[in-house]
Structure 1
């Protein structure tokens, strides 16, 4: 990816983070694989670490079909979940403490599940992690009326970011970071990381409220129900 002087200086070095898990319930599902890395201004990964965990529960066939990891493989080759959760949390905390933004696609999923895993294993969870960059939230805010799905694969293609090996934590994390950089070249984002982080909190809340209204209108939610728009970590239930 060619260097572009329009890229904000605070996106010249970004952390990237992704989890592959046993399912989509942030409170009860578990980490299977994780990736934390760092990209430079050209989108090249200059540091990275991967983890395979034994989640301590059966990995459903549906989850295996997505990321390719079976229960037998995780038990044979994965590290204890508590060690993986501690390592991933520590790696992210280190980046954030240095002021390095961490990009995560649909960040409220990954950070919420990681926080629940930390609590499950008696570890110190990341509290209000910041600065976080979520390309899904940003894409919905700047291109609100674009039709079609907003999966990572679709959005990567929209911003001309290659994504090979989707649903591999490493590939997904790197693609998300490159999408964030592509967005920064295309859109007039807030002028600082703190401003962008705060704006995403507002955008995520508004997006959840809008989706709640839609789901109620089609009968997918009851009128008294509401989607949690907390970001980047969902509220405790």
Structure 2
């Protein structure tokens, strides 16, 4: 049996999805670049599409330093945000309709920001995307006591997945998909992707509750505050 043959039967193809944005606020920040693709069971990308948007607001210098897209470049070369948001949502909906799970690292960030962008532009939003695979949640659940950061760059290296252009939407999306495939070979995942999706909802809730308790203990949150553990779209 080869390594690829040890994948779950439902993991023969996966969609991959990533956004680069103006910031980390899922309610108010905007999409700058996006990538949606499809990987086969060997991690080869067999379909892909990229977008560059004019977000309609200035891109902060800090965000531009991360993904390399300046306000001037986005205004000169990006397409209207409403068109980009509509097409990204449509591409994801098409993959879900085909029965493909979609991998997104820290999925509640990308799917929440996309949903809020859709509402902003008066477009149908993906309020309950399904099924989604989040390698960050899987890593935290199956290897919870490993020390160190859990950024995509660090986690990709842990699973021996190359990531040469971190914070570039296509590179991050493909790397996240390959990390998910590596995890599926290493860990005993549920019998179906729908069961995995449901379990991740609980993992996200539990991880948020644990982090809330820690932040209150160290003074980063007030006792009455809580972190939103909704997944894959934050409430």
Number of aligned residue pairs: give it: 234
2:53 corresponds to which residue?
53
SS at match of 2:110: helix
For normalisation by structure 2, the TM-score amounts to: 0.99
SS at match of 1:11: coil
User: 1:27 touches 1:116 (CA, 8 Å); kept in 2?
Assistant: yes
Q: How big is the shift at 1:3?
A: 5.3
SS at match of 1:75: helix
Q: Distance in 2 between matches of 1:125 and 1:139?
A: 28
TM-superposition CA deviations, 1:3-36 (whole Å, max 9, x none): 5210112211000000000000000000000000
Q: How big is the shift at 1:127?
A: 2.3
1:67 corresponds to which residue?
67
2:173 corresponds to which residue?
173
Q: How big is the shift at 1:78?
A: 0.2
For normalisation by structure 1, the TM-score amounts to: 0.98
TM-superposition CA deviations, 1:130-160 (whole Å, max 9, x none): 0000000010000111110000000000000
Unaligned ranges ≥5, structure 2:
none
Q: Which structure 2 residues correspond to residues 20-31 of structure 1 after superposition, within 5 A?
A: 20-31=20-31
Q: Give every structure 1 segment of 4 or more consecutive aligned residues whose post-TM-superposition deviation is greater than 3 Å.
A: none
Q: Distance in 2 between matches of 1:96 and 1:54?
A: 27
Q: Which structure 2 residues correspond to residues 79-90 of structure 1 after superposition, within 5 A?
A: 79-90=79-90
Q: Distance in 2 between matches of 1:147 and 1:227?
A: 22
Q: Are residue 140 (structure 1) and residue 169 (structure 2) matched?
A: no
Q: Distance in 1 between matches of 2:80 and 2:198?
A: 35
TM-superposition CA deviations, 1:159-190 (whole Å, max 9, x none): 00000100000000000000000000000011
2:128 corresponds to which residue?
128
User: 1:17 touches 1:34 (CA, 8 Å); kept in 2?
Assistant: yes
1:230 corresponds to which residue?
230
Q: Distance in 1 between matches of 2:79 and 2:58?
A: 15
1:39 corresponds to which residue?
39
Q: Distance in 1 between matches of 2:98 and 2:90?
A: 12
1:109 corresponds to which residue?
109
Q: Over the residues paired in the alignment, what is the CA RMSD in angstroms? A: 0.7
